[in-house]
Amino acid sequence: MTQRSGSIAVLAMFGLVSLIPVATPAALPEVQNVSMSGDGLFWDAVPGAVQYRVYRGLVSGLPDYCAEGVGNASDRFIFDSETPPPGDAYTYLITALDSAEEGPVGLRTDGTDRFLTIDCDLDNDDVRDSVDNCPRDGNTGQADQDSDGLGDACDFPAQNVSLLGRVVMRELPDTQRLGNDIWSYVSPGGEEYAILGTTKGTAFVKISDPANPGLAGWVDGEGIDETWRDMATFGSHAYIVTDGSGVGLQIADLSDIDNDNVVRGNTTDLGQGFADAHNVYVNADSGYLYLCIPNLNGGNGLTVVDLNADPADPTIAGFWTDVDPGVRCHDVQVVSYTSGPNAGKEIAFCFAESDGIYIADVTDKANMFRISKVTYPGLTYSHQGWLEDARRYLFANDELDERDDPGVTSTTTYVIDVNNLNNPSFHSSFTNGLASIDHNLMVRGDFVYEANYSSGLRVWDVSNINNPQESGFFDTRPENDNTNFEGAWGVSSQLPSGLVVVSDRQRGLFVLDPTAALDAPAPECGEGGALDAGLNDCVAAVCARDAWCCAERWDALCVEAAGTVCGLGCD
């Protein structure tokens, strides 16, 4: 940044306004009329400014820490949890920046350039950002086991999945700084967004330029702090629910989101006293919204909401109550069948905690009924799942089996054959051998994307349903792969660009590129260590012909045999 001289800037102190000398570039005027309310700072917009930065510190000398509003395009800054209490001698310096990131950066009271002396600690680990090997993730001891210059806390293990961009929790208006579920959205203008739930509210983050994600809007939780928040979209509206909140169904208008304008519209009790729910799902093909574990109907079954007549003010269409007593849908996927024996039907797949998986026909909202029920080995807490595109197989996760079932010692995903909805059956399961808990997953094409808490995002190639292979991963929590509830909470893999977004409880939003995982060759097509004959039918056939391949090493001759015996194009 260019150093300049002269003039005055405004700092807001608690209850007072202080003046200090600052440097003023010709391009932009200084920030004026800084005021403070109960929850933040406000000031006059500066013509030509594309963003503002907010520094916090002592009246004189280096600040003890600072809050930096990078990319903040609005004329306000909402305090976070580390704002000093009223009465402490702290000040705020607000700078306006143009497109070249130049602007009126202040001077210290001794006349030295403030830009050169402000040194932030944005991750609050007592290591200044200028020398921190992990400035966005707490790494107090500066551990760097592989000596690559990146601290262990932000040196994310990965294979075939690349990190493109991040938004850390400190960059969001959430004083609790804990993330939860995630969804994605494409605007009418074709811009892509991640919708991230947090303890305090819901953030709308533009990711069309994945290397520079930016906050496009925020819907606060109306004063409710809650671990579980969920969201879904229909047309130009987003629907947000909070577990145990009493808030109701929050509806946000996204029609002007491309201009960083997310409008919180109606918050409704749906005319029947709706207050909270654990999850929400929208079937965009039918225009119906499904509430999981709402405060209505004892939390059992599903509450169905019609979005078609007025998506800004929807109404309840009916309740699915044809379940066993006390059965709750912890999560649900609802799809409309267009071909085959179920053509014209709307089918719900209900993940019902310790009761397994229920399948229901919800086509007629006045007569919704259970079709069947299925369980699987190791059933502990049926949590969530997703159909593959052909709708023959359902992939399901169980949130508590790794922790509570002594027979399940590693992350296990269950495959359910749902080709016959009247008689679904357990097909198989697969694991990567890690201990972490699987939490949420999505399916796109031949790949399953799993957010698995402490082991992060895992990408599975399920093109061979009898032998799924992990083709890539990105570990958002490098500290461990333990059976705990920290790390990756949710994933969304449905964006047209192919980008995948992951929400991490502690570390916020990750924008990832899984392209290499989708292009990873089959094990038979590459040389390496000896393969297990139980890997798949092709490997077994090659090893029956040449035992060396499974006993010693999978070499060039084994690869050639795989091409011949199995008809693979291993070139």
CA angle centred on 165, ends 137 and 74, rounded to 5°: 90
The model's pTM is: 0.78
Task: Judge whether 432 and 382 are in contact, CB under 8 Å.
Answer: no
**For residue 524, which phi and psi values (nearest 5 degrees)?**
-70, -15
Q: At 240, list the tokens.
A: 């947000």
DSSP summary character for residue 105: P
Q: What is the pLDDT of residues 524-551, one digit of tens each?
A: 888 878 888 877 788 999 999 999 999 9
CA distance 22 to 6: 6
Average pLDDT score over residue span 439-443: 97
From start to end of 83-129, where are the E strands?
A: 90-97
Q: At 182, list the tokens.
A: 């995630």
CA distance 542 to 471: 22
Average pLDDT score over residue span 347-365: 97
What is the side-by-side order of every strand in the sheet holding 331-336? 331-336, 346-351, 357-361, 369-374
Decide: helix, strand or coil at residue 516: helix
Q: What is the pLDDT of residues 162-220, one digit of tens each?
A: 999 999 987 787 766 799 999 999 999 999 999 999 999 999 999 999 999 999 999 99
Q: What is the pLDDT of residues 119-177, one digit of tens each?
A: 566 677 878 777 889 988 888 899 988 888 888 888 999 999 999 999 998 778 776 67
Q: At 258, list the tokens.
A: 């491309």
Q: What is the pLDDT of residues 486-526, one digit of tens each?
A: 999 999 999 999 999 999 999 999 999 999 999 887 788 88
Mean of all residue pLDDT scores within the chain: 84
Work out the angle between the directed axes of helices 556-566 and 537-545 (0-180°, nearest 10): 120
Nearest Cα residue to 64 out of 37, 34, 91: 91
Please tell me the predicted confidence (pLDDT) of residue 12.
30
DSSP summary character for residue 424: -
State the maximum Cα–Cα separation within the chain, in Å, rounded to a whole number: 84
- H/E/C letters for each residue in 247-285? CCEEEEEEEEHHHCEEEEEEEECCCCCCCCCCEEEEECC
User: Which percentage of the chain shows pLDDT scores above 90?
Assistant: 60
pLDDT confidence bin for 37, thresholds 50/70/90? low
CA distance 243 to 224: 10
Burial 531-553 (b: 16+ CB within 10 A, else e): bebebbebbbebbeeeeebbeee
